[in-house]
Amino acid sequence: MMAPIGMEEKFKKAAGVICKQGMVQFPLSDTAIAIIKSAVGDNEEELDLIYAFREKPSQTADQLVESSGFSEEKIEQLATSLAKKGLIFNQPSSAGVMVYRLLPLMLVGLMEYKFMVDLTGSREEKELAGLFEKLLEELRNQTQDNYDTLLPLFQTAPAVDRTVPARRTEDGKPIKIIPVDKALDVAEEFVLPSQAVQDIINKFDDIAVGRCFCRQRRSLLEDDCRTAAPTLNCFTFGKSARHTTAQGFARKVTKEEALKIMQAAEQAGLIHKAFHPGSRESTPETSICNCCKDCCDIFQLWRNGTLPLINSTYHLSVINEEACTGCGTCLEWCPTDAITLNAAGVAQRDESACLGCGVCSRFCPEEAISLQEGLRKVFIMPPRLRHA
C-alpha cells in the first residue's frame, strides 16, 4: 500500500502543473510553490484538482471526473473556488458545454487576476507582490543563462499583443494617417483586426473593467507610477468579461462608460494593447490593457533582460524633419525608446523598435509626427546582461 502524499508534496505537484501553463513556462522553484500556497491555501482537494490538469489544461466536467476521481458536483465546487482565486477559467463553450481551463502564473492568469481588484495594501498583498517579483527575477536568470538557446525559440514565437494606436493629438485634432501604398503580403483570407478602440468596444455586449494589475502590483512594491496614470482601465470583453465579473475581478460597464475610460487613458498617454486568444488576430479581442511606459510588465520584462518584446502593429511613426524642433517630447513618451535626436538635433525613429502606438504623435507640440499604415511585427530581444 502506497503511503499518502503529504501536503508539501501536493503543493509541489500542483505548482509544477501550473508552471507549465501559458506562453511563459516558469521553472518550478520554492518561490512558485510559495505563490501557490498563498493563492490556494491549505486546501488539499483544490490541489488535487489542479494536479488533474497535468495532461490536459482544458477539460470538461466528464473529463475531470476521469482525471481527478472527484464527482461532477465536487468538481464544480472546487473549480468555482479556484476560479475566484484566479487559477481556473470556467466558462461554457460556444456549444454550451462548461469547460474548465487551468490558468498560468501570468499572461493571463493568477498574477493579473490577483492584482486587478481593488487592493487594500495589506501585508498579504505586499508579500504576494514580492513573491511574484522574485519569480520574475528567477525567470530573468533563466533567460540570461540560456540566452543563445532561447533566441531561435523567441524569434518564432507569435506576437504577445497588438498595438491599437492613439487617434487624436493632445488638443483633440485627428492624428494624420498615411494610407498603405502597396498590397499587404499576407494570405487573401486575412482580415485586418480593428484599428480603433471604439471599433473594438462596439463589437461587444459584455464589457468589464478592472484595475491595472501592473501599476497596482508596482505600487505594492513601493514603486509608484511616475506618470501617475489612472488604474481603472484594464478591459475584458465577451467571455472574458463574463468571467472577470463573475469572479469579482472586474465590473460590467456600458459601451459609453468604456469609451470615456478609454479616452481618459489616451489623454494620460497610455498605450492601447489588445490581446487575442492564442495570439490569433483573426479572432475577437479578449482584452485591452492601457499601458504606461514604466509600469507595464511587458515593457519591464523586456528592459530588464527577462523576455523579448513581440508585438503586432499596423502603424509606424513618420517624423517630418522640417517641422521638428528637437524639443524631445516624443523621446520622453516613446515606450520603447525608438526615437532619438540626431546630430542636427532633429528626432529620428528606429523602425524596428516603433510600436506605432501614436503616443509620440499625440503629444508632439509641432504636429510633426504622422502614422503610416502597414502591417508589421516588432521583435526586440531583451538586453544581454551576461556574456559567455
Are 135 and 171 contained in the same domain?
Answer: no
**Which residue among 145, 171, 205 closes a domain?**
145
Nearest to 378 by CA among 161, 228, 121, 227: 161
Three-state DSSP at 43 gives coil
CA dist list (Å): 60 to 97, 259, 352: 7, 36, 43
Is 42 inside a domain boundary? yes
Is 231 inside a domain boundary? yes
Is 190 inside a domain boundary? no
- Cα 17 to chain centroid distance, Å, stands at 21
Are 121 and 171 contained in the same domain?
Answer: no
Nearest to 367 by CA among 82, 86, 174: 174
Number of folded domains that form the chain: 2
Are 125 and 161 contained in the same domain?
Answer: no
In sequence order, what are the residues at sequence separation of 6 or more whose Cβ sits closer than 8 angstroms to the Cβ of residue 174? Answer: 167, 168
Are 109 and 231 contained in the same domain?
Answer: no
Q: How buried is residue 254: exposed, middle or buried, by Cβ count under 10 Å (0-12/13-18/19+)?
A: exposed
Are 140 and 166 contained in the same domain?
Answer: no
**Which residue among 145, 176, 211 closes a domain?**
145
118 secondary structure, DSSP code: P
**Along the 388 residues of the chain, how does pLDDT read in single tens digits?**
445 688 999 999 999 999 999 988 899 999 999 999 999 999 999 999 999 999 999 999 999 999 999 999 999 999 999 999 999 999 998 889 999 999 999 989 999 999 999 999 999 999 999 999 999 999 999 999 999 999 999 999 999 999 999 999 999 999 999 997 655 555 555 567 889 999 999 999 999 999 999 999 999 999 999 989 999 999 999 999 999 999 999 999 999 999 999 999 999 999 999 999 888 888 999 999 999 999 999 999 999 999 999 999 999 999 999 999 999 999 999 999 999 999 999 999 999 999 999 999 999 999 999 999 999 999 999 999 976 5
- Residue 177, domain extent: 147-185+195-380
